Amino acid sequence: MNWILLTPELILLLAAALFLIIACLKPDPRRDYQLAVTMAAFTVAAAIACATMSGDLFNHVYRVDLFSQVFKALLAIGFFLVVVLCDDFQGVAPSHHGEAYFLLAVCTLSMMMLASAVHLLAIVLALELSSYSLYILVFMRREHRWGMISGLRYFLVGASASAIMLFGLALIYGVTGAVHIDILVQRLPAMMGQPVVVTGLLLTLAGFFFKLAVFPFHFWAPEAYQGAPNQVAAFIAAVSKVAAVAILLRMIAMAQGNSDLLARGLIAMAVISMTVGNLAAIAQRDFKRLMAFSSVAHAGYLLLGMLCMTPAGYAAAMFYGAAVLIMKYTCFMVMIRVADDGRNLQIDELAGLHRRSPLLALALMMALFSLAGIPPTVGFVGKLMIFVAAMQKGYLVLVLIAMANVVVSLYYYLLVLKAAYLDEPAQSLPAINLTIPARLVAVAMIVLIVGIGFYPTPLLDLVQAAVLRLP
């Protein structure tokens, strides 16, 4: 077996082992942080270096191809960026920093496995390993009451989604007698007219809808975001969504575009997710809760690309998944720097941000403009690709509904910008001093948001080539 194909996963496995050992030693937050940044950087380098490699491992249970490798690179980059934010890990007790890095590494590893798994049991194991890591991370909130309540609700909804998913897998296996995706791709398209097969596939997708926070599996998101440590909330909002997009694309592609029943089910979920997410976000005053409902809305946009069941739709969803990683991370980066004591940030606490830190205010403005789909940003390009793919499929009404939801989202995004640029704080607040690495990350996010918006061709070509590897 060619172990070089597993280089990113092996580095993360080594990182998890090191943090498991460190967790048994005397706590040293600075040592833990430096080791985490180093291992995360090595993971990014390995993921990029292995991007063009391909092959099947473990008796065709694990597939390494351009599709999985692109997602692994995005996951590695997201892991690195979140670890960079942990330089002042106030939300977790110093004695538990080692365990937190261990769980972040394990979760990233399992999400990489999820991107490459092409066997139903391997998919289930990878999904559950990543989910349980996140449950525990939410529980680790320093304010015990917040973490306990949110973590418990997150776990209960997740366990319910897993049970529904397993029932769906049982239906699919009972009808097809297959567990390998390669075999399912050959047998499922001819059976997509059977309600039991469509029901099984929709129930199977429930576990992945949960991770993407699609209606009606979104109830955990506001509580988990609000109750989790800020860095963990950033990881859930930005990084875990990438893995959800990867496995949803692989599972939906099994239908080969041959199921109107499946498309109608996805249409209903997409419309309700967009509408519920945007309307609920309007009433939020806690920044993390607003980002949670925003994620629900963006899950609807992602589903709009996927339900087209065409290469253009898959490429649009993949592109938008990468865009969500950049946009959500930038928003949470600003929040973490402003609420540097680990507290939950209220929107009105952003008042005067443009004077306290012009760079953070600019980063927040670019990220919110991108989330709202204002050109020239990466979010605008992603939404445009999704809408074009849907129009090509004949979903004009669906595109109009999505555009109406974009207009609604502008309202609450502009409320946040109003607080940052126009509102005056109740009392004089000191300037926010950013370290050089923090400044570099903020500048890099601004450049990515605007740069890809102006010139999306390299990323677009990459995702279009990657989706050709789908079944």
CA distance 169 to 456: 37
H or E element, residue 55: strand 55-57
pLDDT in tens, 70-98: 899 999 999 999 998 888 787 777 777 88
pLDDT range class, residue 256, cuts 50, 70, 90: low
Highest mean pLDDT among 47-61, 97-111, 143-157, 427-441: 97-111
Mean pLDDT of 49-61: 80
What global pTM score does this model have?
0.91
Query: In angstroms, how far is CA 2 from the centroid of its own chain?
Result: 29
Asked whether 470 and 314 are in contact (CB, 8 A), the reply is yes
Residue 229 has pLDDT above 70, yes or no: yes
At 326 the pLDDT is 92
Q: CA 388, CA 129: separation in Å to the nearest integer?
A: 36
pLDDT tier at 147, thresholds 50, 70, 90: low
Average pLDDT over residues 1-24: 84
Question: Does residue 142 have a pLDDT over 70?
Answer: no
Q: What's the number of CA atoms in the CB half-sphere (13 Å) around residue 103?
A: 20
Q: Is the pLDDT of residue 258 over 70?
A: no
pLDDT at 146 over 70: no
Number of residues that make up the chain = 471
Q: What is the pLDDT of residues 165-212, one digit of tens each?
A: 888 888 888 888 878 887 877 777 777 777 788 788 888 888 788 888
Q: Does the structure show a pLDDT above 60 at 1? A: no
Share of the chain above pLDDT 90, in %: 10
Q: What is the pLDDT of residue 8?
A: 87
The angle, 0 to 180 degrees and rounded to 10, between the axes of the packed helices 97-116 and 29-49 is: 10
Three-state secondary structure call for residue 194: coil
Helices (H) and strands (E) in the chain, counts: 20, 2
Cα 339 from chain centre: 22
Q: Which residue has the higher pLDDT, 246 or 92?
A: 246
Determine the average pLDDT of the residues in 390-400: 87
Between vectors from CA 458 to CA 62 and to CA 384, what angle results, nearest 5°?
A: 95
CB 411 within 8 A of CB 58: no
Percent of the chain with pLDDT over 70: 97
Q: What's the pLDDT at 79?
A: 92
- Asked if the model's pLDDT at residue 30 lies above 60, the reply is yes
Q: Give CA–CA dist 234/291, Å, rounded.
A: 10
- d(CA 144, CA 262) in angstroms, rounded, equals 42
Pairwise CA distance, residues 184 & 343, whole Å: 47
* Lowest mean per-residue pLDDT among 74-78, 129-133, 370-374, 421-425: 421-425
Structure tokens at 49: 């270096």
d(CA 248, CA 17): 30
Give pLDDT, residue 443: 92
Distance CA 285, CA 68 (A): 38
User: How much is the pLDDT for 175?
Assistant: 82
pLDDT of residue 75: 92
pLDDT at res. 255: 67
Q: Which of the two residues, 342 and 174, has the higher pLDDT score?
A: 174
Range 399-409 average pLDDT:
89
pLDDT value, residue 309 = 80
Structure confidence at residue 319 (pLDDT): 92
Average pLDDT, the chain: 85
Element (H, E) at 63: strand 62-64
Looking at residues 227-231, what average pLDDT do you find?
85
What distance in Å separates the CA atoms of residue 150 and residue 302, rounded to the nearest whole number? 26
